[in-house]
Amino acid sequence: MPVSGSLETLKNKGYKVTSQRRAILRVLDGENRRLTAREIHAMMRDIQPRVSLDTIYRNLRLLVGIGILHQISLSSGAVFELNGDIRHHHHHLVCVECEKAVCVSYCPATREYSERAAEEGFTLLGHSFELFGRCADCSKKQN
Amino acid sequence: MPVSGSLETLKNKGYKVTSQRRAILRVLDGENRRLTAREIHAMMRDIQPRVSLDTIYRNLRLLVGIGILHQISLSSGAVFELNGDIRHHHHHLVCVECEKAVCVSYCPATREYSERAAEEGFTLLGHSFELFGRCADCSKKQN
DNA sequence: TTTATAAATAGTAATATTCCTATTTATACA
DNA sequence: TGTATAAATAGGAATATTACTATTTATAAA
């Protein structure tokens, strides 16, 4: 039950489970590709006709912050996908030329970081890790 | 010679050394705090009166992409600082409530990642790593 | 130095993202 | 089940960021 797990997480961290948040997760769960905030907004209008863009952006930020979603920053804007136990947790290798994003299957957020965060008095909620580079095709073109 | 080192890097990676890029680096080098794109733009007008915001944003993205700058994404917008050999290379622990950003002194981009990137045919240029959480003060407030 | 060239820029239009505030709603608890 | 309360939302205004294109400029090579 992917989405319901995220809703649990929300609740456990002290956030309310609203119909808008449910809808955002449902839309992302139903698509097998990364979506922009606009796309999510458009797809939600069927079930949430009056949802505002502000709500989308605010919640995407929250969901990324607590690790339920993954944000990939492309020069043309940000795209989002489910993360964590829902889909296999991972990070991305992004081509700075063509914006192709390849998944990288392991994660740098080791216990070491949690400890360091704790030393600073922080309660860790999530993390982001992105690698930038040029893909094979774009490297060739440059030569 | 901090700034000149970055200019070398630019040249080595095949990018031109323009007066606008020099000015961006000089402004960041002169300040001891993180700056927004707007602030950089404002501070550059003394030496580059006609510089456009587009140029600032385009170059900040480039400089982050190739690892010369560091971008910290706050909910109120992005801020930038020098990175790499110029200042000591590091990452950040950001409070999602109050936006306080603490430096974390070590880096997850090990040789392992370079190898993985190489397998995918990518030439690595840089990376970003950010930890999100609640700082001590904001954690207290919530209880 | 002069020239050819692709890359970078300025200026402006178009989008994306965030801010603000009155109103609505999920949640805890009586 | 009602009610109180803080959190969340809608709607629109304000900013931030990116896109587009004609022009300028850094660079390499003659």
Query: Total structural domains in chain B?
Result: 1
pLDDT score at B58: 96
- Say yes or no: B136 contacts chain A, CB-CB below 8 A: yes
pLDDT score at B141: 64
CATH number, domain with residue A62: 1.10.10.10
Which string of b and e fits A53-84 if b means at least 16 CB within 10 Å? eebbeebbbbbbbbbbbbbbbbeeebbbbbbb
- Say yes or no: B102 contacts chain A, CB-CB below 8 A: yes
pTM of the full structure? 0.87
Confidence of residue A113 (pLDDT cuts 50, 70, 90): confident
pLDDT score at B92: 87
User: Which of A11-20, A93-102, A129-138 reaches the highest mean pLDDT?
Assistant: A11-20
Average pLDDT score over residue span A87-114:
79
pLDDT score at A114: 82
Confidence of residue A61 (pLDDT cuts 50, 70, 90): very high
Residue of B nearest to A62 (CA): B96
Please check whether residue B81 is in contact with residue B53, taking contact to mean a CB–CB distance below 8 angstroms. Answer: no
pLDDT score at A89: 76
3-state secondary structure (DSSP) of residue B54: helix
Q: What is the span of the domain harbouring residue B33?
A: 2-142
**Measured between CA atoms, how close is A24 to chain B, in angstroms?**
19
**Measured between CA atoms, how close is A30 to chain B, in angstroms?**
27
Q: Kindly list the residues from chain B whose CB atom is less than 8 angstroms away from the CB atom of residue A134.
A: 122-123, 125
Q: Kindly list the residues from chain A whose CB atom is less than 8 angstroms away from the CB atom of residue B130.
A: 127-129
- Say yes or no: B132 contacts chain A, CB-CB below 8 A: yes
* Record: contact A132-B127, CB cut-off 8 A: yes
Average pLDDT, chain B: 86
